[in-house]
Structure 1
Amino acid sequence: MSNQCSGSDKKPQTKKDSCCSGGEATEAIAKEKTTSCCSSEPQIKETSIVPSLDSEKMEFRVQGMDCPACAKTIEKGIRTLTDIKEVHVNYSTAKMQVVAHNLSAFDPIEGQIKKLGYTVEPINEKRKLKTYTVEGMDCGSCAKSIENHLNLHSSVQSVNVNFSTGKMKIEHTNSPEEIVSEVSKIGFKATLDTSRTASQPVQKKNENGLLIGSGLLIALGFAGSFTGVSTLMSSILYAVAMILSGYKPVKSAYYSLRSRSLDMNVLMSAAAIGAAFIGEWLEGATVVWLFALGNVLQNKSIEQTRNSIRNLMDLAPPEAWVQAGLDVVKKTVEDISIGDVIIVKPGDKIPLDGEVFKGESSVNQAPITGESIPVDKQSGDNVYAGTINEHGTLEIKVTKLVEDTTISKIIHLVEEAQEQKAPTEAFIDKFAAIYTPIVFGLALLIMVLPPLLTLGTWGDWFYKGLELLVIACPCALVISTPVAIVSAIGNAAKNGILIKGGTFLEKAGAITAIAFDKTGTLTEGKPKVSKVEVLEGTEEELLSIAFTLENYSTHPIAKAIVDYAKSQGISSKEGELYKSIVGKGVQAAIDGVNYYAGNLTLFKEMTVSLDQLNQNVLELQNQGKTIVIIGTEQKIIGLIAVSDTIRESTISSLKALKERGIRETVMLTGDNEGTAKMIASEANVSRYFAELLPEDKVTAIKKLQSEGYKVAMVGDGINDAPALAAADLGIAMGGAGTDTAMETADIVLMADNLDKLPHTMKLSKNALSIIKQNIWFSIIIKAIALGLIFPGWLTLWMAVLSDTGAALIVILNALRLLKDKE
């Protein structure tokens, strides 16, 4: 053990001090669905505010909080507003509940939170937010132009356009048709999302036709200049080509200027018109055509990243066969209620979450958990919407409505994640907002100042100013981060990994140490018999007596012994006078003799000799085993060792993590020193912390952080919530079966094993690498273009190519993340 850190230097609390003794039984009980005080659920459960009859309540999603102190700051800030009665901000779930005297009191909340440095949006129906899909955006400035344009209308209360996901969330009082019309004025197509699945955008054929037509006109004009066609005719062909390709961007530029936005449409239109003004018709036509071509290619590429969500939406079928008495009828999933029984035939997708009521089959859960091997299902097992029934007809009792299924939650979480800006993206957006106006102003100065100072002709400097206008839009730079993040989050979702935002994607790439909860994370969390030692009689006799004694106990260790006996084909004996001896074991009369099953303490109280047994028990305990002794008041007939087993995926996953650059792998456990040492050795972790209470796990995380590590904590999301929150990154396992895990953690591994963790780390590091590549590439291309302006080596069409071409290369580079494999 390279760096052993047990908790033995401080006395662990006993069970009398706290029911959170850190023992395996405690953790196992907490996992069942806990009523134990070991549960951390109160720490993660949202406090619900109940409004009085004379008040209104609203719920908001707050973005930007990086610690619980932020939540307190927001609460204090909102309480200063007029007519606010009560505020509660939950840092873990990023939700804020507000109770006010009237609806109008909610209006200043968004502005107040922005002043505090955070962003907020309502997440209930009082504000009647509608969601639209917007087509045609090729960078973040397009989204800003749409927002600015719509904000000019009095019927629009709030609008947020997200370039990455192509979604617009808007609160308005006029009709959706009017909103669609307003968006079309600025050059984009909006569609109201009314169905469960988003509509697939279709590229308009006439747009492609115009692009091809204008390209042919430019080619004819250019060829004509070499074949004796008059300059006037060539200029006319160029002018017509400019109108065909440039109508849409010029129209968009008009509305952008009206809403005081300086986007790429404005800059490109100004450059093209300026070129025509000084008689450079070929340059102007080429600028517009290259810009239009770049937009088409960019839109097509970006749609591939957005398809990661659409593909998730298509996983669950829209209809299901429902048992109705003796008949089976087809219904839409929206019309199916909890408790209905649906029939799923072999090869079909399961339409809703439920519990197998009848039948046996193997179910391919890869769409949800990323597991490649189908999972056997039988009566009583849970199944998830979107998974595939491999063979055997299943009758499934529906347990969740369509909007509450696991796949619906995944879609919601992934959409939210893709809409949240990562720190790098937020910084670049701020930079672009400053950079563009400055370069635009410089372009105007270059057009005017040098000629006034007689440093050259008006035509030369006007042309240089036009080139600078084209370079003024940092399109490739702005697009460099969001496309990479959307691609990475989409790839992760496809592989059964939920990353809840670009912030956590970036954090994962910087992690240097990972702490693991032992039970249920590194180990199976299910005790199994690992050794049977017979001191008198036969093994069959020993197991039969143990089976009889333990059969009526609900303790996890007793269940392990009973399951083992059954698997060996052992039958129980006739027993009577069963009695549980609290903290020590059980007893029963078999054939008139009292037999006992329990720990060493139980048998020390009897007259039976334990001299030879003590050393044996101690050795087994040091190997991490729990010992159950079987005997009577006069003799010991044998002992059974029970232990938790390392998951099959643990060793390979930890090895892969070290290969991915994780310097420290740490195990946290409530087990004693001997057990912890043995499990740590088997799992091959770098170090371990033993004999920990739940609150001690937080201390262990802070110790690692104080040593300079960026720490991720991996647990089950229920009784590990405090440690998940204390770590730099909280990772929960088994999200497919645990709503709490999906709520509390920053990253959720949907499968109940560690297989996907190395891929998560690899994907994050690759995403950070690609983001850096994109940023540097964008900056270098801009710098080269700027450097070529003043010697006169740059042409307008080259300037356009440097912008749209760089943006396209950045997108294609980011798309590599969609194909990133384990």
Structure 2
Amino acid sequence: MTKCRIDIFRLEGLDCADCAAKLEKRLAAAAGVESVKINFGASKMTVAHSTRVESIIRLVNQAGYKAELENPGAQPGRQNKWWKNKKILLTFISGVFLNAGFLSSLLIAREEWTIILYLAAIISGGYYTGKNALCSVKSKSIDMNVLMSIAAIGAVAIGEWGEGATAMFLFSLGNALQALSMEKTRSSIRALMEYSPNKALTRRNGREFELPVEDIVVGDIIIVKPGERIAMDGEVVKGFSMVNQAPITGESIPVPKSPGAEVYAGTFNEEGSLEIRVTRLVRNNTLSKIISMVEEAQARRAPSQQFVDMFARFYTPVVITLALAVAIVPPLAMGLPYPTWLEKGLILLVIACPCALVISTPVSIVSAIGSAARRGILIKGGAYLEKAGSVNVVAFDKTGTLTSGNLEVMDVIPLNGHAEKDVLSIAAAIEYRSQHHLARAIIRRAELAGASPLQSCNFKAITGLGASAVINGSTHYIGALKLFEDLHVNTGDAAKMIKRLHQSGKSSVLVGTKEKIMGIIAVADQPRLNSPVVISNLRAAGIRKMIMLTGDNPETAGAIAEQLGIDDFKAELLPGDKLRIIEELQAEYGMVAMVGDGVNDAPALARADIGIAMGGTGTDTALETADIVLMSDDLAKLPYAMQLSRRTLSIIKQNITFSLLVKAIFILGTFMGITNLWMAVFADTGASLLVIANGMRLMLVKEEGISLLKAGNKKQKFCFNEI
């Protein structure tokens, strides 16, 4: 038994979503093919099969398209000039013959010359249409190529040579323009691959030589000079430089990189020379992963697309049946003129194609997801894009989301006759062996104050309360007020001081022994400078309620919520409590988004309608689990994502409404005798092009960055415009 394998193919010439569905159905019925999934947005095809790859490619070619195996590390090829594109060239020739035929009908008396010129226009413009129609008929399917071929033959049969030639030219022109537009949309993400060099200066076994990126392995050292792009993901082992990470994170400001820092393929080394230890192969690097995930996201159907596909499934056969009835019944049953009603039937056949309707949603989804990705926002699918546009409530984790996540010691208050250095020396001695972020903040402050940590032993972490260690033969403690209350230590005025510190947004720990309190250390996690602006812009974007969920104490949480302009907050929460609150918000407000770090608060992120992870760059967990990832750890990207989602919903509705309206008008006009064949083709292809152009506007949507603070303490407004 032949083993089943899975291959991914890149497709060419696939410019119609309805045609993609028919190709998928045809290939799925072929011998040796287990399953087929076509990603129309990315023009990719995934096939599970037990036959030869050449057989799959031949089947695709027979259907009128081209296929080749995908090379994940390959850069996209440059597009040929238009005059080297056979479809465009034949369309141009068809237009020349059409115009010549029109002039001939006006200036030359002999009708034969006019017919010959119109026939040449039909043949040149309809070459690919007829070829694809034959393939469709062989596979027992009906697509627009079949319908247009029948319409052209019918026009010739009733002597409407000019109308048939005009219709075929317009259809060919529409297909060529549609192909160019879709290719531009699709290549907007894969073009990011051009940022990544295909070679790198590599040091291996003490020797330096230039290697193709496919031959570079994990552990190799690559050398990147100033002004060069970084070819591989890795860790800096030597050198310092500013690196522009815009292709990955959308950040406009270069980031400093020194030994130990992570760097990504496709980013630009601006100043110094860097030596980088490779940590990922080219096919697994962050840039390749982003491109792959964006293309997969573009393939995931949004709810509106599912509705359109279902509608088109019934609409097309109904209108085809109606077209046949219109062409046959009136002449046979009522003795009406055969040519007139045949033309009406041909017009309805053209209108039966749901191209504009079917493409109305995916082109918008592809454009919006691509636009977001180039700005460091990874949206995992059309469904999440649509949901984000309907969000009413945004719930924020505090630490690392609204705040920087870096605790700093703000105050040291010595008590009972002790000096500040004594308090810091004891605290640093206890925390020296701890990995807690509070410990790192205290040790940093002790170093700055010149308070050297004392020798300690028997370190013990006291879960949820603090820690202890033996210093100079005596056990010392650091931790929450409750820890010392449990030890029955007289806290004196310390409790009142701690309450005042909490009210000012600071968290506090006590330092002391079982006999007395030595001092209080107050720490704070500072809000991100742009958090208030982000909250304001989210409110302007239509978010009804914003709430902060934190495990911090109520006083500190309240102070930060007030400082940032958050509507509400819930404090002292465990992960299960956050999950419960998300469910309560959903019951009261509907669609809820949760913003966190992608690792913590996993239950709440999973339960929310949209889970948004901060800082996904290089974090596999965030990339895999969140619905939306803000790659640069920049909260300022969130209002843009929400506005983009709302704009996408609006454009999808515009496209669907416009497509249905055009169909309805031309069906009505056909029965009223207003429309003719070439007008129907013009309307159908024109509608498809207008729908694509409208969807592509989402690629041009730009964000004008949120500055942290303007002069005079004025905040800069967030702008959401089009180029």
Instruction: Mark the CA change 1:606 to 1:251 in structure 2 (over 3 Å): closer, same or farther.
Output: closer
Shift of 1:558: 2.5
- The match for 2:285 among 394, 399, 405 is 405
Shift of 1:790: 1.9
Output the aligned Cα RMSD: 2.6
Distance 1:293 1:256 in 2: 21
- The match for 2:654 among 745, 765, 773 is 773
Instruction: Mark the CA change 1:632 to 1:477 in structure 2 (over 3 Å): closer, same or farther.
Output: closer
Answer whether contact 1:187 1:249 (CA < 8 A) is retained. no
Matched residue of 1:485: which SS?
helix
Distance 2:303 2:4 in 1: 28
Equivalent residue number for residue 129 of structure 1: 6
Equivalent residue number for residue 566 of structure 2: 685
Q: Does 1:663 align with 2:544?
A: yes
- The match for 2:603 among 722, 725, 728 is 722
- The match for 1:259 among 139, 163, 188 is 139
Instruction: Mark the CA change 1:222 to 1:606 in structure 2 (over 3 Å): closer, same or farther.
Output: closer
Answer whether contact 1:348 1:388 (CA < 8 A) is retained. yes
Q: Does 1:713 align with 2:713?
A: no
- The match for 1:575 among 429, 434, 454 is 454
Distance 2:486 2:346 in 1: 96
Equivalent residue number for residue 554 of structure 2: 673
Using the TM superposition, name which of 245-254 and 188-197 deviates more: 188-197
Shift of 1:533: 3.4
Matches within 5 A, 1:70-85: none
Q: Does 1:734 align with 2:615?
A: yes
Paired amino acid for 2:451: S
Paired amino acid for 1:783: A
- The match for 2:437 among 556, 560, 573 is 556
Q: Does 1:622 align with 2:503?
A: yes
Equivalent residue number for residue 280 of structure 1: 160
Matches within 5 A, 1:110-129: 127-129=4-6
Paired amino acid for 1:788: G
Using the TM superposition, name which of 333-342 and 594-603 deviates more: 594-603
Instruction: Mark the CA change 1:501 to 1:236 in structure 2 (over 3 Å): closer, same or farther.
Output: same
Distance 2:376 2:642 in 1: 14
TM-score, normalization by structure 1: 0.80
Answer whether contact 2:72 2:283 (CA < 8 A) is retained. no
Structure 1: 5+ residue stretches without partners: 1-102, 105-125
Paired amino acid for 1:647: R
Using the TM superposition, name which of 711-720 and 472-481 deviates more: 711-720
Equivalent residue number for residue 492 of structure 1: 372
Equivalent residue number for residue 307 of structure 1: 187
Paired amino acid for 2:365: I
Q: Does 1:786 align with 2:695?
A: no
Equivalent residue number for residue 3 of structure 1: none
Distance 1:643 1:574 in 2: 22
- The match for 1:145 among 22, 27, 46 is 22
Once the two structures are superposed, residues 323-373 of structure 1 have per-residue CA deviations (whole angstroms, 9 ceiling, x without a partner) of: 123321122222222222221222222222222212222222221122222
- The match for 1:418 among 281, 298, 313 is 298
Equivalent residue number for residue 708 of structure 2: none
Answer whether contact 1:711 1:728 (CA < 8 A) is retained. yes
Paired residues, number:
696
Once the two structures are superposed, residues 765-802 of structure 1 have per-residue CA deviations (whole angstroms, 9 ceiling, x without a partner) of: 11111100000111111111112112221111110010
Using the TM superposition, name which of 747-756 and 477-486 deviates more: 747-756
Answer whether contact 1:578 1:586 (CA < 8 A) is retained. no
Equivalent residue number for residue 73 of structure 2: 196
Equivalent residue number for residue 383 of structure 1: 263
Matches within 5 A, 1:165-244: 165-172=42-49, 175-194=52-71, 196-197=73-74, 199-200=76-77, 202=80, 204-244=84-124
Shift of 1:526: 2.3
Answer whether contact 1:451 1:461 (CA < 8 A) is retained. yes
Structure 2: 5+ residue stretches without partners: 704-723
Equivalent residue number for residue 11 of structure 1: none
Distance 1:404 1:243 in 2: 48
Instruction: Mark the CA change 1:199 to 1:409 in structure 2 (over 3 Å): closer, same or farther.
Output: closer
Answer whether contact 1:145 1:259 (CA < 8 A) is retained. no
Shift of 1:586: 4.6
Equivalent residue number for residue 443 of structure 1: 323
Answer whether contact 1:544 1:571 (CA < 8 A) is retained. no
Distance 1:343 1:474 in 2: 54
Matched residue of 1:737: which SS?
coil
Paired amino acid for 1:792: G
Equivalent residue number for residue 803 of structure 1: 684
- The match for 1:532 among 412, 423, 427 is 412
Using the TM superposition, name which of 576-585 and 806-815 deviates more: 576-585
Equivalent residue number for residue 651 of structure 1: 532
Shift of 1:193: 2.1
Shift of 1:285: 0.5
Equivalent residue number for residue 58 of structure 1: none
Distance 1:140 1:596 in 2: 68
Distance 1:607 1:184 in 2: 83
Distance 1:631 1:511 in 2: 49
Paired amino acid for 1:391: E
TM-score, normalization by structure 2: 0.90
Answer whether contact 2:593 2:612 (CA < 8 A) is retained. yes
Identity %: 49
Distance 1:793 1:157 in 2: 49
Equivalent residue number for residue 362 of structure 2: 482
Once the two structures are superposed, residues 513-557 of structure 1 have per-residue CA deviations (whole angstroms, 9 ceiling, x without a partner) of: 111112222222222112233565775676566555644544322
Once the two structures are superposed, residues 483-535 of structure 1 have per-residue CA deviations (whole angstroms, 9 ceiling, x without a partner) of: 00011111111111111111111111111011111222222222211223356
Instruction: Mark the CA change 1:722 to 1:634 in structure 2 (over 3 Å): closer, same or farther.
Output: closer
Shift of 1:812: 0.5
Equivalent residue number for residue 383 of structure 2: 503
Paired amino acid for 2:129: P
Shift of 1:611: 3.4
Once the two structures are superposed, residues 220-277 of structure 1 have per-residue CA deviations (whole angstroms, 9 ceiling, x without a partner) of: 1111222133112101110111111112211211221222222110111111110000
Instruction: Mark the CA change 1:697 to 1:778 in structure 2 (over 3 Å): closer, same or farther.
Output: same
Instruction: Mark the CA change 1:496 to 1:274 in structure 2 (over 3 Å): closer, same or farther.
Output: same
Using the TM superposition, name which of 527-536 and 807-816 deviates more: 527-536
Distance 2:301 2:513 in 1: 67
Answer whether contact 2:430 2:459 (CA < 8 A) is retained. no
Once the two structures are superposed, residues 466-497 of structure 1 have per-residue CA deviations (whole angstroms, 9 ceiling, x without a partner) of: 11111111211111000000111111111111
Answer whether contact 1:476 1:803 (CA < 8 A) is retained. yes
Distance 1:629 1:261 in 2: 77
Distance 2:430 2:102 in 1: 96
Q: Does 1:158 align with 2:158?
A: no
Equivalent residue number for residue 353 of structure 1: 233
Instruction: Mark the CA change 1:445 to 1:398 in structure 2 (over 3 Å): closer, same or farther.
Output: same
Using the TM superposition, name which of 352-361 and 769-778 deviates more: 352-361
Distance 1:574 1:273 in 2: 92
Instruction: Mark the CA change 1:628 to 1:671 in structure 2 (over 3 Å): closer, same or farther.
Output: closer
Answer whether contact 2:359 2:692 (CA < 8 A) is retained. yes
Answer whether contact 1:671 1:692 (CA < 8 A) is retained. yes
Equivalent residue number for residue 270 of structure 1: 150
Distance 2:267 2:508 in 1: 41
Answer whether contact 1:548 1:572 (CA < 8 A) is retained. no
Instruction: Mark the CA change 1:517 to 1:504 in structure 2 (over 3 Å): closer, same or farther.
Output: same
Shift of 1:573: 3.8
Answer whether contact 2:368 2:698 (CA < 8 A) is retained. yes
Distance 1:136 1:587 in 2: 71
Matched residue of 1:801: which SS?
helix
Instruction: Mark the CA change 1:322 to 1:597 in structure 2 (over 3 Å): closer, same or farther.
Output: same
Shift of 1:632: 7.6
- The match for 1:466 among 346, 350, 375 is 346
